[in-house]
Chain A
Amino acid sequence: MSDAPTQFAEDERIKTRSKFREAMIRPELGGIIGTITVFAMFLIFAGDSGMFNSQGVMNWSQISAQFMIIAVGACLLMIAGEFDLSVGSMIGFAGMLIAIFSVTLGWPVWLAILVTFAIATAIGALNGFIVVRTGLPSFIVTLAFLFILRGFAIYLPQTIERKTIIGGVADAAEGDWMAALFGGKILTGLFQWLGDNGWIAVFERGTRKGQPVVEGLPMLIVWAILLVIVGHVILTKTRFGNWIFAAGGDAEAARNSGVPVNRVKILMFMFTAFCATVFATCQVMEFGGAGSDRGLLKEFEAIIAVVIGGALLTGGYGSVLGAALGALIFGVVQQGLFFAGVESSLFRVFLGLILLFAVILNTYIRRVITGER
């Protein structure tokens, strides 16, 4: 490794590194290596199992996109030094609110969605407010909300409808512009054209004969990409992004240098709740109903994706791109194991191994970057 001379070379305070090393050593490196590895593995072991035909790709893409949506929120919050364990319950709760507003109360779906977003982000703000006010660990505060929100997700439909599953949202959302923003599909023409040319599978029988099995790109995936881009830009290109790092790195030092740490943290809690609600809305619109048990354990899946992506549990370090790659790895592994014909109860063993490898690799990469020992 020779040091390439750069324009800063005269300044002895700045350590020079080669361009290659600059490009290679980044927080997402672990995620990139992992992604390449995972895809290579499945191409070898499940290449002809349908995993890489149109339905297969759409399947693991949707799972990954789901993880991505909640991982972006969890990632920014974790970099700001806090946790949110109520994400899974928030998914169940928010979905239930949309179903109750639109089906039981008969509101227009766009209004149901907007009001739900307002309530969810308010709960996120409350989470953050309690954390910064009391100084309690966010782990504990959000654990309380995990139970509170799940409780309401069960109680509300039980008392109102005497059921734990509320369906019929699909009929209510018919023709609603905002429902399409979450449950619609885009590029349908492109997929039809691909199907007509025989490049992707089409239905062989039934009323949809000749239509492609994968009819378009679900808005779920669009949202995931959008959130990743927005999160990445905020974190790496704005002053606010620096505040997020500062708040999680050393809150006291950040306060002393004028960073509004409390505001940053509360905003990040709100953003996490927002992401969970996006997830819930997409799910309710796609499946046409809400259930009390939706989103169980999703908070841990989000955290796992973020950690695979190289973030530090203690805050102050991480990357949204890494979290997105972590979500991709997670989704591909989870669905890929089915395709590879691995006994499905072994799935957790794999997940544990991958998590362990990712953390070890990420720790090493971080040490190279930050120079810590």
Chain B
Amino acid sequence: MTSIFKTFMLATTVAAAPMMLATTASAEGEKYILVSHAPDSDSWWNTIKNGIALAGEQMNVEVEYRNPPTGDLADMARIIEQAAASGPNGIITTLSDYDVLSGPIKAAVDSGVDVIIMNSGTPDQAREVGALMYVGQPEYDAGHAAGMRAKADGVGSFLCVNHYISSPSSTERCQGFADGLGVDLGDQMIDSGQDPAEIKNRVLAYLNTNPETDAILTLGPTSADPTLLALEENGMAGDIYFGTFDLGEEIVKGLKAGVINWGIDQQPFLQAYLPVVVLTNYHRYGVLPGNNINSGPGFVTKDGLEKVEEFAGEYR
């Protein structure tokens, strides 16, 4: 019996050590929790972690980042419930699946926690769950802003390379771009699929049959990278107007080479940083912006590449 007791005491001491460390690390200020839907393996969210760390430091508040390790949204719902139970001043969360997350978020709001929705979901859904505001990139608006920009550069027709047509947000991007240009979307959007070879050949085929196309819009690295190859093959690279959503290694190279005119960055840094600042000021001085905040589109061009490269993976 005595040795069981010894083992037990030893275990207790070892297990307790990190907790003692942890309790000394808490700050004086308000406490906020950011809950994301991303699995541990998703590196895009590093920017978010750095963003809240910086905001927490500057505003002198405590911000914690939590996510379901495997990206399981049911686990995320439990994390939101848990976050609400620990009584923070505010919760910043994504709304990637309204069905699963709206219940826990509404319960958090009703139990007196202020919530800001970031990154995913829509401004309408954010209002629905009773959040203070929505900070993110509304896809239609981003597409529309890009369309206006292209119109100013003299574009009149375009090809939208859609690699995830099953998701409504992708179509919103293309539709917004068409409306920004002031033309009909019609059949200027192609369902390219996800396979790089197929994307490349469909772009080539489209440009063969429609050689008068002024511009190309791709919706992310998945469709941008093969499109770059296609343009190299048919000699249109650098000649045709080319814009894309999101940034990636090949896209940055394309920007540098002058093949891509601009990339649309949804600026995750702002999605993390601004909610912390907004909540802190709301709790300290009772001030709140009267509108949702669009973190994007942030247009990245050849001139702005320096900062993007310098802070890639950290703040960009």
Contact = CB atoms under 8 A, between A and B. Distances in A.
Given A293-B73, A339-B86, 11 more contacts: A33-B8, A45-B16, A55-B81, A208-B110, A213-B111, A287-B74, A296-B72, A297-B69, A342-B22, A364-B7, A365-B4
B264 interface: no
A341 B71 CA distance: 21
Contact of A41 (B15, B85, B97): B15
A58 to B, nearest CB: 8
Interface residues of A, number: 64
Interface in A261-315: 283, 286-289, 291, 293-297
A335 interface: yes
Could you say which of B18, B82, B83, B97 has the most chain A C-beta atoms within 10 Å of its C-beta?
B82
A209 interface: yes
Interface in A43-73: 44-45, 49-51, 53, 55-56, 58-60, 62-63
Interface string B5-40: 001100110111011101101100000000000000
B65 interface: yes
Interface in B92-123: 97-100, 103, 106-107, 109-112
Nearest to B10: A357
A246 B3 CA distance: 31
Contacts of B258: none
A134 to B, nearest CB: 30
Contact of B22 (A209, A288, A335, A343): A343
Given A205-B112, A335-B82, A339-B82, A283 B106 contact: no
Contacts, number: 153
B292 interface: no
A122 interface: no
B16 A338 contact: no
Given A338-B66, A350-B15, A364-B4, A294 B78 contact: no
Contacts of B69: 297
Contacts of B74: 283, 286-287, 291, 294
A360 interface: yes
Nearest to B113: A204
A354 interface: yes
Contacts of A236: none
A60 B130 CA distance: 25
Contacts of B103: 287
B96 to A, nearest CB: 9
Contact of A294 (B4, B11, B26, B72): B72
Contacts of A58: 81, 85
B26 A341 contact: yes
A122 B202 CA distance: 44
B11 A37 contact: yes
Contacts of B11: 37, 357, 361
A120 B19 CA distance: 42
Given A51-B86, A343-B22, A350-B18, A203 B71 contact: no
A119 interface: no
A344 B65 contact: yes
Interface stretch (A161-169, A174-182, A223-231, A247-255): A161-169
Interface string A203-229: 111111100010000000000000000
A37 B111 contact: no
Given A45-B19, A341-B25, A289 B110 contact: no
Contact of A291 (B1, B22, B73): B73
Contacts of A167: 97-100
Interface residues of B, number: 49
B193 interface: no
Interface in B33-53: none
A163 B111 contact: no
B82 A341 contact: no
B196 interface: no
A209 B112 CA distance: 10
25 contacts: A24-B1, A29-B4, A37-B15, A40-B12, A49-B86, A56-B82, A56-B85, A58-B81, A59-B81, A167-B97, A167-B99, A203-B107, A203-B110, A204-B111, A209-B110, A213-B110, A287-B100, A287-B103, A291-B97, A293-B72, A338-B66, A338-B82, A341-B64, A350-B18, A361-B11
B87 interface: yes
Contacts of A165: 73, 97, 99
A360 B8 CA distance: 11
B203 interface: no
A364 B7 CA distance: 10
A45 B20 CA distance: 8
Could you say which of B12, B79, B81 has the most chain A C-beta atoms within 10 Å of its C-beta?
B81
Given A51-B85, A205-B112, A295 B72 contact: yes
B12 to A, nearest CB: 6
B146 interface: no
A4 interface: no
A340 interface: yes
Contacts of B73: 165, 287, 291, 293-294
B75 to A, nearest CB: 9
Could you say which of B25, B64, B65, B111 has the most chain A C-beta atoms within 10 Å of its C-beta?
B111
Contacts of A338: 64, 66, 79, 82-83, 86
A157 B115 CA distance: 32
B77 interface: yes
A170 interface: yes
Interface in B274-293: none
B166 interface: yes
A14 interface: no
A338 B66 CA distance: 9
A291 B78 CA distance: 15
A353 interface: yes
Interface in B285-305: none
Nearest to B65: A344
Contacts of B71: 293, 296
A341 B86 CA distance: 10
A349 B18 CA distance: 10
B169 interface: no
Contact of A59 (B3, B18, B82, B109): B82
Nearest to B16: A41
Contacts of B78: 59, 62-63, 335
